């Protein structure tokens, strides 16, 4: 019951009150300041105390905590005294925060007077009181944990009860308290009881409390002796035995003190190694136990190994091993405590395998624990039986010695672990990758770290999962990292994502070793998880887990260092690549700039191609550059210009753009797709197989084929070969592709120019019947005829076109919803010619118009006439232009197209005098005079030298007449220059 009085009795009663329960309250009380003798070895004495006090303070310093402890432990507390002291005790309990009212109400605290107990029959009757206390014990233990009694005894003197009779009662009640959940404290006032009576009081109580000191009563006489007929002789034997035991105890204490001094001196010697100290400890232990054999064993995996040993036994020598089941230590490990036998034959040890093997008649041993894990045993033995049992002091000495050995072994282990970690750290510093770090880690885990079941699990970023990077040989079969890494509930995955260590004590995982007891997973930051398992019976100790985490931290640090070095190396490589790219870009830009300058001055296609090939072949790492022409009939790509280390390569190879194997290379693909094609490693490219040997023989290792395309017109294929693989990366191919576009544009420009200025031209006449063509559609709908009058190029944008219609009114033309492939159409003029309306329009050419298509591909439209069913277009090309290519492009642009005529002609050449005569032959004499006077008089200068009025006055004509003559002369000159029949000079 607690201090508030609530019952605490549990079902299924067994004895819960022991000897120490009576002294714990005094030992822990702030009021009770005296020593409490350890009661070890007196566990069979009953729980009956005599409190011999001097003064009120000393009395209640023991009584109050004694009662309070009973209430807190759920016991029933019975206090027997006179009326005055009962209220005093209640008040003192209240002062100690005890709920006296609640305890009394619940029956946990009972105050009884002497008159209602000891003197209930008006006189003291020992037999009656025995019955009272027997009934109280039975009633109390039915509801509460136990019965605790505190009784006053002053009434004995007041009532004249013979002390001999009461002491006989006190002696007999010891038998009542034996093996019962009851404890009693009898109070005796030393100032009131005579000394001879107090001597009797001392004899009948197993335990005494005097002068705030709790002690085991060596003068206690058991009831059978105290009340028996041979009391004097028994008391003499007891006194002599006590003196003997006291002498032996004093001698044992002296020996223990000397042994402890030797222990202290040995432990404090910094100049001795652990091995030296251990050997000396074994020798000291043999002397202390009076035995001739001492040893420390290491037990693991069922094997018994002697770490060190002293003594003459041939089987107990350092380094010897045996099956653990056949040794004395088996019993020690099974009990996990001290096992001692002083006479093995007397205790039925013969017949056991260990006894038959070693023949040790006396033996004492205990377990040695290192870092919370069982290491082995520390034992002392002899072939001879020991003359006396092993005492508690000797057992304690062995346990303390085993603790020291365990501490020293742990220190040695930690030093070894630290050395192993330092060695591993040095090796990890040399590892350059996370994979190498993982391999080095598991190598050390198995060899030096004593972690045979270890793996490093890496986070595979691309897959977003954990994967085993490396593991020890045993871990392959006994540590199922894959099952433990499953997402999202695998313990390794949980440890990784939470960033916290996870210890798996439920190792019922498929693939786990039978002896594995726990698995520890320690995250390695963003790198993965360090995982290791133990086979220790208790799993990972605190020290072992700390070492695992320290090891993981070392691995994480190494991974972080490798990451930083990798990033630094990548940055350095990126910087080198950027520098290389910059150098290459500068090289390419210089080449392109040089080619661009050369293209400006080139006047023919051949000159352009020659310049390009020579400039590219002159720049490393390019070895050869050539431009091929595609024949759409034969499918062959024929070299037209080349430069560089050709070495007969072009003669030795055939390139096509068809479905043959010779058409599957980069040139053929470039012709078909109009996209650049790159082979960065000729050795490995299967599509380059037809030319591989010839290329590699001449030192070509990479190739790029660049189609020369402008406005869907293919002007050929530029092929460039390099002397090393991997040259044509994204930057290089992008720049070269832009160069190819520039080359194609330049070729188109020179061919267009050639069509304008060439003395010899090729004239092509096309008939286009495409119904979707706007000019054909409008002619068909309105019945008009449409003719090209002229085309005026513009500095920016598309050319302006002038066209006339005949046979349809403006309203009819505007009423149609036909797309003429022009924009900004404007009516310039309209008039009647006979009965037919004639209209002149101005417009901007659209991208799909016939004239714009011809101009875009290097042609010069000469005439365009459109009737109801078709359009007829006459185009001039330069004499060296690729006619076939132009025809193919034009036919691809319009569905129903037919080349009806192809003519070659020369433009007439004229001398300056002939040109001047031709231009002025239509001018009248007066118009020529007015034009010359105005020109030489400064009328056309900016600013004008003379105004129109001043020129007219010098000619003696009116200004309107001057203006009319100037406009007429301008019109005639423009007609000679720009109309279709005008001279070409």
Tell me: pLDDT of 30 over 70: no
955 or 175: which carries more pLDDT confidence?
175
The mean-pLDDT minimum among 563-567, 594-598, 826-830 falls in 594-598
**pLDDT at position 111, please?**
94
**pLDDT at position 457, please?**
93
Residue-wise pLDDT tens digits, 666-682: 999 999 999 999 999 99
**pLDDT at position 530, please?**
94
Average pLDDT over residues 496-517: 82
897 and 763 fall within a common domain: yes
54 and 123 fall within a common domain: yes
Tell me: pLDDT of 375 over 80: yes
- Tallying the residues shown for the chain, one arrives at 985
Q: Is 821 left (phi over 0), alpha (psi -120 to 50) or beta?
A: left
Residue-wise pLDDT tens digits, 335-363: 878 999 999 888 887 778 888 899 999 99
Q: What total number of domains does the chain contain?
A: 7
Quick check: is 778 in a domain?
yes
445 and 546 fall within a common domain: yes
Quick check: is 420 in a domain?
no
453 and 549 fall within a common domain: yes
Average pLDDT over residues 478-484: 87
Quick check: is 2 in a domain?
no
Q: Give the pair of three-digit tokens for residue 88.
A: 């005093």
**pLDDT at position 2, please?**
40
DSSP letter string, 349-413: -TTSHHHHHH--SEEEEEEEEETTEEEEEEEEEESSPPSSPPPHHHHHHHHHHHHHHHHHHHHHH
* CATH number for the domain harbouring residue 916: 1.10.10.10
370 and 309 fall within a common domain: yes
**pLDDT at position 9, please?**
41
User: Could you say which of 906, 932, 967 is where a domain stops?
Assistant: 906
Tell me: pLDDT of 308 over 90: yes
Instruction: Give 694-700's long-range contacts (Cβ < 8 A, gap of 24+).
Output: 694/649, 694/652, 694/653, 695/649, 695/721, 698/623, 698/624, 698/645, 698/647, 698/649, 699/623, 699/645, 699/723, 700/623, 700/624, 700/649
* CATH number for the domain harbouring residue 407: 3.30.450.40
Quick check: is 614 in a domain?
yes
> Which residues does 603 contact at the CB level (< 8 Å), separation at least 6?
750, 753
- Asked if 747 and 883 touch (Cβ cutoff 8 Å), the reply is no
675 or 912: which carries more pLDDT confidence?
675
Domain of 252, in residue numbers: 230-265
Quick check: is 597 in a domain?
no
749 and 801 fall within a common domain: no
CA–CA distance from 852 to each of 163, 228, 454, 710, 771 (Å)?
A: 145, 145, 78, 14, 18
Q: What is the mean pLDDT of the chain?
A: 83
Q: Give the pair of three-digit tokens for residue 371.
A: 């870092």
25 and 62 fall within a common domain: yes
Quick check: is 195 in a domain?
yes
Percent of the chain predicted with pLDDT > 70: 85
943 cis-preceded (ω within 30 degrees of 0): yes
44 pLDDT band (50/70/90 cuts)?
very low
Q: Which helix (H) or strand (E) holds 303?
A: strand 303-310
Residue-wise pLDDT tens digits, 444-470: 888 888 899 999 999 988 888 899 999
User: Could you say which of 882, 906, 930 is where a domain stops?
Assistant: 906
- Determine the distance from the C-alpha atom of residue 281 to the mean position of all C-alpha atoms in its chain, rounded to a whole number: 50
User: Could you say which of 247, 265, 283 is where a domain stops?
Assistant: 265
The mean-pLDDT minimum among 505-514, 561-570, 897-906 falls in 505-514
Q: Is the pTM of this model over 0.75?
A: no
561 and 624 fall within a common domain: no
Q: Could you identify the residue written with the tokens 């040989």? A: 473
372 or 560: which carries more pLDDT confidence?
560
Quick check: is 582 in a domain?
no
Average pLDDT over residues 819-848: 84
Euclidean distance between CA atoms 728 and 730, whole angstroms: 7
808 and 671 fall within a common domain: no
Percent of the chain predicted with pLDDT > 90: 24
141 and 249 fall within a common domain: no
Residue-wise pLDDT tens digits, 398-423: 898 898 888 888 888 888 888 888 88
Average pLDDT over residues 720-734: 89
**pLDDT at position 366, please?**
95
**pLDDT at position 88, please?**
92
743 and 829 fall within a common domain: no
158 and 184 fall within a common domain: yes
985 or 285: which carries more pLDDT confidence?
285
264 pLDDT band (50/70/90 cuts)?
low
Quick check: is 218 in a domain?
yes
């Amino acid at each position: 019951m607690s201090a508030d009085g609530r019952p605490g009795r549990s079902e299924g009663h067994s004895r819960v009150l022991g000897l120490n329960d009576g002294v714990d309250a005094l030992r822990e009380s702030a009021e009770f300041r005296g020593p409490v003798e350890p009661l070890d070895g007196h566990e069979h004495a009953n729980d009956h105390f005599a409190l011999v006090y001097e003064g009120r303070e000393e009395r209640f310093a023991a009584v109050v905590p004694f009662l309070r402890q009973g209430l807190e432990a759920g016991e029933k507390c019975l206090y027997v005294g006179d009326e005055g002291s009962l209220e005093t005790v209640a008040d003192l309990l209240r002062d100690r925060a005890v709920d006296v009212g609640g305890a009394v109400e619940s029956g946990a605290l009972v105050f009884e007077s002497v008159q209602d107990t000891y003197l209930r029959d008006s006189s003291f009757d020992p037999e009656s009181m025995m019955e009272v206390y027997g009934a109280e014990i039975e009633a109390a233990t039915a509801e509460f944990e136990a019965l605790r009694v505190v009784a006053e005894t002053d009434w004995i003197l007041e009532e004249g009860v013979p002390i001999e009779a009461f002491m006989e009662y006190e002696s007999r009640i010891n038998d009542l308290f034996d093996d019962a959940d009851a404890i009693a404290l009898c109070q005796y006032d030393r100032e009131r009881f005579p000394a001879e009576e107090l001597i009797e009081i001392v004899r009948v109580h197993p335990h005494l409390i005097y002068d705030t000191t709790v002690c085991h009563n060596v003068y206690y006489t058991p009831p059978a002796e105290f009340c028996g007929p041979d009391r004097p002789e028994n008391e003499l034997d007891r006194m002599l035995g006590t003196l003997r035991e006291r002498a032996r105890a004093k001698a044992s204490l002296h020996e223990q003190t000397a042994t402890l001094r030797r222990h202290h001196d040995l432990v404090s010697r910094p100049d001795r190694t652990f091995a030296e100290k251990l050997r000396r400890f074994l020798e000291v232990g043999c002397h202390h136990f009076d035995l001739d054999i001492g040893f420390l064993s290491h037990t693991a995996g069922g094997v018994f190994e002697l770490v060190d040993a002293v003594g003459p036994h041939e089987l107990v020598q350092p380094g010897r091993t045996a099956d653990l089941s056949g040794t004395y230590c088996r019993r020690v490990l099974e009990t996990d405590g001290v096992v001692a036998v002083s006479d093995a034959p007397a205790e039925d040890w013969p017949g056991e395998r260990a006894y038959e093997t070693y023949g040790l008649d006396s033996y004492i041993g205990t377990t040695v624990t290192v870092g919370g894990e069982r290491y082995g045993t520390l034992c002392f033995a002899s072939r001879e039986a020991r003359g006396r049992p092993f005492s508690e002091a000797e057992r304690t000495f062995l346990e303390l010695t085993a603790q020291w050995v365990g501490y020293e072994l742990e220190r040695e282990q930690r030093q070894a672990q630290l050395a192993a970690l330092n060695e591993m750290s040095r090796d990890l510093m040399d590892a350059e990758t996370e994979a190498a770090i993982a391999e080095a880690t598991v190598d050390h885990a198995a060899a030096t770290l004593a972690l045979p079941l270890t793996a490093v699990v890496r986070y595979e970023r691309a897959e977003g999962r954990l994967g085993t990077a490396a593991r020890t040989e045993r871990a392959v079969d006994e540590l199922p990292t894959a099952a433990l890494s499953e997402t999202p509930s695998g313990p390794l995955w949980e440890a990784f994502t939470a960033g916290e260590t996870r210890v798996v004590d439920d190792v019922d995982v498929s693939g786990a070793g039978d002896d594995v007891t726990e698995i520890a997973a320690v995250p390695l930051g963003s790198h993965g998880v360090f995982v290791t398992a133990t086979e220790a019976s208790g799993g990972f100790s605190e020290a072992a887990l700390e070492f695992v985490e320290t090891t993981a931290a070392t691995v994480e640090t190494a991974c972080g260092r490798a990451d930083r070095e990798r990033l630094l190396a990548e940055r350095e490589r990126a910087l080198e690549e950027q520098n290389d790219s910059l150098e290459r870009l500068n090289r390419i830009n210089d080449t392109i700039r040089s080619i661009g300058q050369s293209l400006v001055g080139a006047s023919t296609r051949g000159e352009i191609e020659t310049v390009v090939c020579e400039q590219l072949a002159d720049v490393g790492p390019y070895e050869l550059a050539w431009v091929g022409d595609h024949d759409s009939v034969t499918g062959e790509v024929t070299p037209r210009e080349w430069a560089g280390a050709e070495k007969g390569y072009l003669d030795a190879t055939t390139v096509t753009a068809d479905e043959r194997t010779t058409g599957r290379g980069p040139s053929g693909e470039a012709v078909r797709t109009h996209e650049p094609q790159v082979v960065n490693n000729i050795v490995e490219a299967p599509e380059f197989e037809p030319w591989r040997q010839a290329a590699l023989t001449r030192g070509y290792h990479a190739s790029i084929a660049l189609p020369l395309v402008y406005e869907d017109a293919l002007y050929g294929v530029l092929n460039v070969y390099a002397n090393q693989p991997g040259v044509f990366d994204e930057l290089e191919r992008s720049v070269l592709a832009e160069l190819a576009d520039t080359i194609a544009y330049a070729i188109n420009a020179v061919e267009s120019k050639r069509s304008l200025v060439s003395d010899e031209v090729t004239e092509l006449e096309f008939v286009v019947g495409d119904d979707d063509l706007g000019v054909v559609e409008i002619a068909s709908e309105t019945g008009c005829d449409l003719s090209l009058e002229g085309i005026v190029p513009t500095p920016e944008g598309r050319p302006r076109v002038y066209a006339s219609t005949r046979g349809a009114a403006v309203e009819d033309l505007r009423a149609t919803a036909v797309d003429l492939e022009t924009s900004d159409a404007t009516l310039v003029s309209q008039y009647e010619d006979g009965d037919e309306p004639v209209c002149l329009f101005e417009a901007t050419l659209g991208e799909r118009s016939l004239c714009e298509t011809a101009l875009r591909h290097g042609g010069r439209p000469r005439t365009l006439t459109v009737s109801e069913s078709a359009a007829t277009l006459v185009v001039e090309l330069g004499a060296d232009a690729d006619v076939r290519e132009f025809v193919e492009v034009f036919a691809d642009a319009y569905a129903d197209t037919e080349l009806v005529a192809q003519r070659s002609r020369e433009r007439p050449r004229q001398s300056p005098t002939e040109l001047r005569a031709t231009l002025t032959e239509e001018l009248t004499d007066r118009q020529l005079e007015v034009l010359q006077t105005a020109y030489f008089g400064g009328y056309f200068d900016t600013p004008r030298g003379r105004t129109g009025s001043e020129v007219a006055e010098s000619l003696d004509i009116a200004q309107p007449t001057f203006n009319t003559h100037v406009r007429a002369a301008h019109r005639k000159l423009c007609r000679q220059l720009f109309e279709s029949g005008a001279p070409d000079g």
